[in-house]
C-alpha cells in the first residue's frame, strides 16, 4: 500500500513540475551500477538471488529525468526441482531530483517495463524457457559528483513483478554516471 502512495505522490510531482524544465534533453547521463539483492521475499524458499548489474541512459525531461535501462540479475536454485534463471528488466524510468548542491542531490522515481525471465531448463521447450511480465519499481537514488562530468551514485530499489503470485525484490546498488552534453542530432531526434 505504501508503494502505491509513493507512486501517487511522484505522479502529482510530475504534473505540478511539468513546465519547470526550460531546456529538456540538454544532457545525457550514462550509468553503470553493480547491484546486490537484499531481500527476495517469497522466492527465498526456492532461490537465492545473486548480484547483478544495471546499465542505463537518462536525459533531463520537462521535469525530472527520463531514461531507459536494462538490469540483469541471476537467481540460483536451492534445490533440484527449480531451475536457475537469469532476468533482464528492460525499463523506462522517470525520477525527480532534489538538488542539494550543484549536481549533488537525492532523487525518487519509478521504473516500469518488461521483466524477462530466462530459465536454465533443458527439459522444457524454448517457448516455456522464457517468460516476460510487467514489472514496476520504485527507487531512491543519491548522486555525489566527483568531477564535472562524473558522479558516484547509490540506489535502493523495490521491484514488483506482476506475476499471478507477485515477485517482490529489494535491491541496493552503487555505480558511476558519466555526463555529456547532448549532441545536436540526438537532441533533434528527442525533440
Partner 1 sequence: MRRLETNIILILLIASQTYAQVNSDPFAETFTKYDLQEKSIITLNDIFSLSHKWKSSTINGYSNRASGNGLSTYQRQNFIVLVNGQKFDISFMDDINLDNLPFTIEQVDSVVFINSPINYKGYFTQSGLIEFILQKPAEGFSLTAMQSIGNMAGDPGPFAYTQYRSSNIDKLGFVAGIGLTSKGDNWQLTTSVKYNENFITDKSLSNRISMLTESSKQKLIGTSAEIGYNFLNGYHNFIFAFNQNDDFIFFPIYGNEIPSKRILRHTGFAGNFPIGKSITINYKITKSINELARSDNSLNLNFDLKLNTTVIGSGINYNNSYFNSGFNLVYEKYDGNRSGLNNDEQFNFLKLYWTFSFNPLDKIDQSFNAGLVKNSKKNIYKASWLTSYVPANGHSLTLNASYFESTLTEDLNYFTWTANGLPLILPEVVEKELIGNQSGKSFGLDFIYDGKFKLINTSIGGFVRRFEKYYLDNYYYHLSSKTKYLTGELQYSTMENITQIGLNAGLEFFLTKQLTGDFSYTFMKGIEGSEQFLLEWRKFPIHSFRCDLNYSNDGFAVWWRIQYSSSSYWEDYKYLTAQTFSFYNHDLKGKILIDLSFQKYFWNNKIWINLLFKNLLNQEERYSPIGIKYGLRFYLITHLRFESLLN
C-alpha cell at 114: 518488461
48 near partner 1, rule: CB under 8 A: no
Which of 63, 153 has the CB closer to partner 1? 63
156 near partner 1, rule: CB under 8 A: no
Stretch that binds partner 1, among 27-35, 80-88, 95-103, 172-180 (CB under 8 A): 80-88
For the chain, how far is it from start to end, CA to CA, in angstroms?
A: 36
163 near partner 1, rule: CB under 8 A: yes
C-alpha cell at 188: 533533434
Stretch that binds partner 1, among 98-106, 114-122, 151-159, 176-184 (CB under 8 A): 114-122
Which of 101, 126 has the CB closer to partner 1? 126
Exposure of 155 in the CB half-sphere (CA atoms within 13 A): 30
C-alpha cell at 119: 530459465
Which of 28, 161 has the CB closer to partner 1? 161
Question: DSSP letters along 166-190, please?
Answer: PEEEEEEEEEEEEEEEPPHHHHHHH
Among 137, 138, 143, 139, which residue's Cα sits nearest to residue 106? Answer: 143
Which of 82, 156 has the CB closer to partner 1? 82
Q: Are 128 and 152 in contact (CB under 8 A)?
A: no
**Which residues of this protein are in contact with partner 1, per CB under 8 A?**
15, 18-19, 43, 45-47, 62, 75, 81-83, 85, 92, 112, 114, 117, 119, 121, 128, 131-134, 161-165, 167, 188-191
Amino acid at each position: 500500500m505504501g508503494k502505491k502512495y509513493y507512486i501517487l505522490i511522484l505522479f502529482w510531482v510530475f504534473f505540478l513540475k511539468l513546465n519547470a524544465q526550460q531546456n529538456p534533453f540538454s544532457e545525457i547521463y550514462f550509468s553503470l551500477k553493480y547491484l546486490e539483492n537484499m531481500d527476495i521475499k517469497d522466492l527465498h524458499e526456492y532461490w537465492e538471488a545473486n548480484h547483478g548489474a544495471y546499465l542505463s541512459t537518462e536525459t533531463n525531461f520537462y521535469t525530472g529525468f527520463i531514461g531507459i535501462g536494462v538490469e540483469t540479475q541471476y537467481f540460483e536454485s536451492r534445490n533440484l526441482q527449480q531451475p536457475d534463471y537469469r532476468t533482464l528488466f528492460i525499463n523506462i524510468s522517470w525520477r525527480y531530483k532534489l538538488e542539494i548542491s550543484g549536481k549533488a542531490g537525492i532523487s525518487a522515481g519509478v521504473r516500469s517495463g518488461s521483466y524477462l525471465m530466462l530459465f536454465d531448463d533443458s527439459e522444457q521447450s524454448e517457448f516455456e524457457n522464457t517468460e516476460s511480465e510487467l514489472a514496476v519499481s520504485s527507487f531512491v537514488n543519491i548522486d555525489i559528483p566527483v568531477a564535472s562530468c562524473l558522479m558516484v551514485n547509490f540506489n535502493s530499489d523495490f521491484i514488483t513483478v506482476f506475476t499471478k503470485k507477485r515477485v517482490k525484490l529489494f535491491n541496493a546498488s552503487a555505480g558511476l554516471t558519466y555526463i555529456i552534453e547532448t549532441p545536436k542530432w540526438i537532441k533533434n531526434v528527442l525533440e
